Chains A and B, each alone.
Chain A
Amino acid sequence: MIDQKIRTDVLIIGGGVCGLNAAITAREAGQSVTIMEKAVVERSGHIAGGVDHFLAYLNTDKAWDTREAYLQFTATSAKGATNLKVVENVYCDELEAAIQRFEDIKCTLKQPDGTYFRTQSYGQPGPWWINFNGKKMKPLLGKYARKSGCNILDRVVVGDLLVNDGQVCGAAGFNIRTGEFYVVQAKAVVVSTGGTNRLYQNPSGLSFSCWMCPANTGDGEAMALRAGAELANVEYLRMTVVPRAFSAAGLNALVGMGAKLVNGKGEEFMERYDTMGMNGPRYKLVEGVLGELKAHRGPVYMDCRHLEPKALKHLVTTLAYDKDTLPDYFEQKGLDLSRDLMEISTSEGMQGGPNEVCGSGVKIDHNCATNVRGLFAGGNSADQCRSLHMAVTSGLHAGRCASEYSKHFNGSSPSPSEKQIKSVKQRLFAPMNESRDLDWREFEDVLQKVLTEGMGPVRSKWSMEKAWQNLDLLDQWKNKVKAKNFHDLCRTQEVYNMMTVARCMITAAGYRKESRFGLCHNRLDYPEPDDANWLGQIAVRDEGDRIVPVFVPLNY
């Protein structure tokens, strides 16, 4: 099979919400754009099936509806993880253009009567969440990107970035159906592969039935790390509250519309865990549910029975925008929210930022640039970005800044070395070797068990050391993982990348000798937050034989 070689100005890795927005913006800036996407862009990533909330302040006359209020909330709720200078440039400065982008792709944020329907949750000072019908958002965005002239390589999974003399100059990957090998040379590259999921055991026992998109497995973080980039905020564990054993999105809609958590005795219990009760941060809701279960006051339920019929109707409609199959779940369980309590529990864990306004992943500056020349990042794979609002704005911003960078080359730019291309190809296709015999599923299962046991909502030096030792053992089996076909080859790369992120997670969490953001980083051996010593991020980088943590202070 002949390798495909392509040249482009700006290369986008991962055609999700962030990636497609970056691509469109780079086209508008006159750049040639290539997108490499694991699936097919019209229906790939987190919002393949739909989405329903967009977080925005709208500059009305209310004090909570301003840029200042947003920055104030971010500074307090994500203190020690969020970098306000980055947030200002990546979110606030792009918000207006982001709202316009929704109109451009014909996926309006408005209700049919032209108004915004806004709800409040997670400790935010006002109703910042615009409820909208995002069922078709991804197909519309994909279509728009195609029409704007992007070269889209669907079903091409990226295995590694190509680097020449400290400058990122492209990426290589393969088609997950045909195995065709692709080398794309670029002047600037945006990583937008959407975070790391599938890292923890799923309560249902079904690994792919997770809350966030199971196709996003830290590929971008791992390849950026190998290329010399730093990752940050990776020590934090993220969980949510879900219908029991079905990790569906939708908590925001439930809480925003006034649903209440109750225990087996019928008591509302959230006040015991947070002064804001049901309006507290997501990790507090998780803490409440776990607390009740631990005290054997479960089962725990979500109660919607008191909602007005109109509110309940809006809730059920918006839940189906967010998770298309929730109505089927209700139906197959015989559940009617106006009549029945819905049993809930906590989701699987995942590596993620502390809350809806702060992320984890590749460390970016105010230009979405990483510490490696030519490499940019955004969306859930960048340390400052989280949720739909930041996926869109960081996409716009990364597209803009990557285009500026690409333009400074004036013609010639570094090209990837044949030596690196050859070694990447060898590494990527190695699992096809006949002599291998370990199923990737078994490898993934063990990896998840190791993290669930040692890196959960309660961690300690000793639990993390044990997890690290287990990863060392698991490493000995790494070169036995086998792929029978190119679909499996993609999965094999995914579990390898998850393993890399797991190492980074343990390194950063072991280094941070305090607790922060409740159960997100809850150390038994250092139970209190310690702003005097730890107000800032842990950045990790790959120094060849080991992953090295560095503390980066933040000022507020």
Chain B
Amino acid sequence: MPAVIDQELCISCGKCDKSCPLDVIHFNLETEITEVIYPEECWHCGSCRQVCPEKAISIRFPLRILVCAGTSPY
């Protein structure tokens, strides 16, 4: 999970939904919950986190990025 929303802190303002260049986060109109619905399309740009007024978003790097063995081109 790249961008992670802490639902305890989130006030469902929808700002992060409008700030994602990749359409990864959606504010669900029916449930009124803001969710990271396409985590594998996250660019780790941090734009959503910058706009969140409640500091409810954190960036958690996938293991494949943090432990990067086995990715050498040679």
- Total number of A residues with any Cβ neighbor in B under 8 Å: 46
The list of the 8 closest CB pairs from A to B, nearest first, reads A324-B46, A245-B68, A49-B45, A43-B19, A203-B71, A48-B21, A48-B47, A325-B46
CA of A45 to CA of B20, assembled, Å: 10
Say yes or no for A397: interface residue by CB 8 A criterion: no
Chain B residues near A325 (CB-CB < 8 A): 44-46, 59, 61
- The contact size tier of chain B is 20 to 34
Within 8 A of A (CB), among B34-74: 38, 40-47, 49-51, 58-62, 64-66, 68, 71-74
Asked if residues B23 and A43 are in contact (CB atoms below 8 Å), the reply is no
Docked-complex contact B50 and A206, CB < 8 angstroms: no
* B47 in contact with A43 (CB, 8 Å): yes
Please encode chain A, from 42 to 57, with 1 for each CB lying within 8 Å of some chain B CB and 0 for all others.
Answer: 1111001110000000
Asked if A298 is at the interface of the complex by the 8 Å CB criterion, the answer is yes
Q: A43-B18, A246-B44, A325-B61 are in contact. List 13 more A-B contacts (CB 8 A).
A: A39-B22, A40-B19, A43-B47, A205-B64, A214-B41, A290-B73, A323-B45, A324-B50, A328-B46, A329-B66, A345-B71, A345-B73, A487-B38
Docked complex Cα distance between A206 and B65 (Å): 9
6 pairs from A and B in contact (CB 8 Å cutoff): A43-B51, A206-B64, A245-B71, A324-B45, A325-B44, A345-B68
**Beta-carbon contact of A215 and B21 below 8 Å:** yes
**Contact present for B46 and A487 (CB under 8 Å):** no
B18, A40: Cβ atoms closer than 8 Å: yes
**Interface residue ranges, B against A (CB under 8 Å):** 18-23, 38, 40-47, 49-51, 58-62, 64-66, 68, 71-74
Q: Interface on A for B, CB 8 Å cutoff?
A: 39-40, 42-45, 48-50, 135, 154-155, 176-177, 203-210, 213-215, 244-246, 248, 290, 293-294, 296, 298, 323-325, 328-329, 332-333, 343, 345-346, 487, 490
Using known A-B contacts A40-B19, A215-B22, A487-B23, determine if residue A48 contacts B45 with beta carbons closer than 8 Å.
Answer: yes
Contact of A324 among B22, B23, B40, B49 (CB under 8 A): B49
Residues in B with CB closer than 8 Å to A333 are: 66
Contact A293 B22 (CB under 8 A): no
Instruction: Report whether A49 and B50 are in contact in the complex, using a CB–CB cutoff of 8 Å.
Output: yes
User: Is A329 touching B46 in the complex (CB atoms < 8 A)?
Assistant: no
Asked whether B65 lies within 8 Å of A49 as measured between CB atoms, the reply is: no
Contacting pair A329 B61 (CB below 8 A): yes
Q: How far is the CA of A177 from the CA of B21 in the complex (A)?
A: 14
Residues on A with C-beta less than 8 A from B64 are 204-206, 245
Name B17's closest neighbour in chain A (CB-CB): A40
Q: How far is the CA of A273 from the CA of B66 in the complex (A)?
A: 29
Q: Using Cβ atoms and an 8 Å threshold, which residues of chain A touch B22?
A: 39, 208, 214-215
Task: Name the one of A176, A245, A323, A329 contacting B23, with C-beta atoms under 8 angstroms.
Answer: A176
B68 partner residues in chain A, CB cutoff 8 A = 203-204, 244-246, 343, 345
Complex Cα–Cα for A513 and B59 (A):
46
Tell me if A42 and B41 are in contact (CB < 8 A).
no
Give Cα distance in the complex from A155 to B59, angstroms.
24
Residues in B with CB closer than 8 Å to A323 are 45-46
B40 partner residues in chain A, CB cutoff 8 A: 206-208
Interface centre among B20, B22, B40, B59 (most CB of A within 10 A): B22
* Given A208-B43, A325-B46, A332:B66 Cβ within 8 A: yes
What is the CB-to-nearest-CB distance from B38 to chain A, in angstroms, rounded to a whole number?
Answer: 7
Nearest CB of chain B from residue A448's CB, rounded to whole Å: 14
| Chain A proximity of B10: nearest CB distance (Å) | 18
- Measured between beta carbons, the chain B residues less than 8 angstroms from A324 are 45-47, 49-50
Chain A positions within 8 Å of B51 at CB level: 43
